[in-house]
Amino acid sequence: MGIAERKRAAHAARLLKLAASSTRAAILFVLSRHKQLAVQDIAGELDMTHSAVSHQLAVLAGADIVTSKKSGRMMCYAISKNPQAKALVKFLTTIK
């Protein structure tokens, strides 16, 4: 295996590690059904606290899987348009 393949494998492992958290996977499921949602709405759908959801969204945003936009006093999130985010969400949504 060459250097390029090792880098791709490491990147794939990082993406899959993000999906390995059931909380982050649930957040991505919710966001995949909506164009954009406020943290409060995601927390409500998942019956979780605002701070717990915010923490996981920060992890996903740091990996460029979700994007954030401030709307008034609310922070809204959406799935990023990059190929890695789309592939991760497609992977998650194909699981039955």
Which pLDDT tens digit goes with each residue over 51-82? 999 999 999 999 999 999 998 888 999 999 99
pLDDT at 8: 86
Specify the pTM.
0.89
Q: How confident is the model at residue 93 (pLDDT cuts 50, 70, 90)?
A: confident
Cβ-Cβ contacts under 8 Å for 81 (sequence gap 6 or more): none
Q: Spell out the domains of the chain, with CATH numbers in brackets.
A: 3-94 (1.10.10.10)
- For 14-43, the pLDDT digits (tens) are 888 888 899 999 999 999 999 899 999 999
Whether 92 has a pLDDT exceeding 80, the answer reads yes
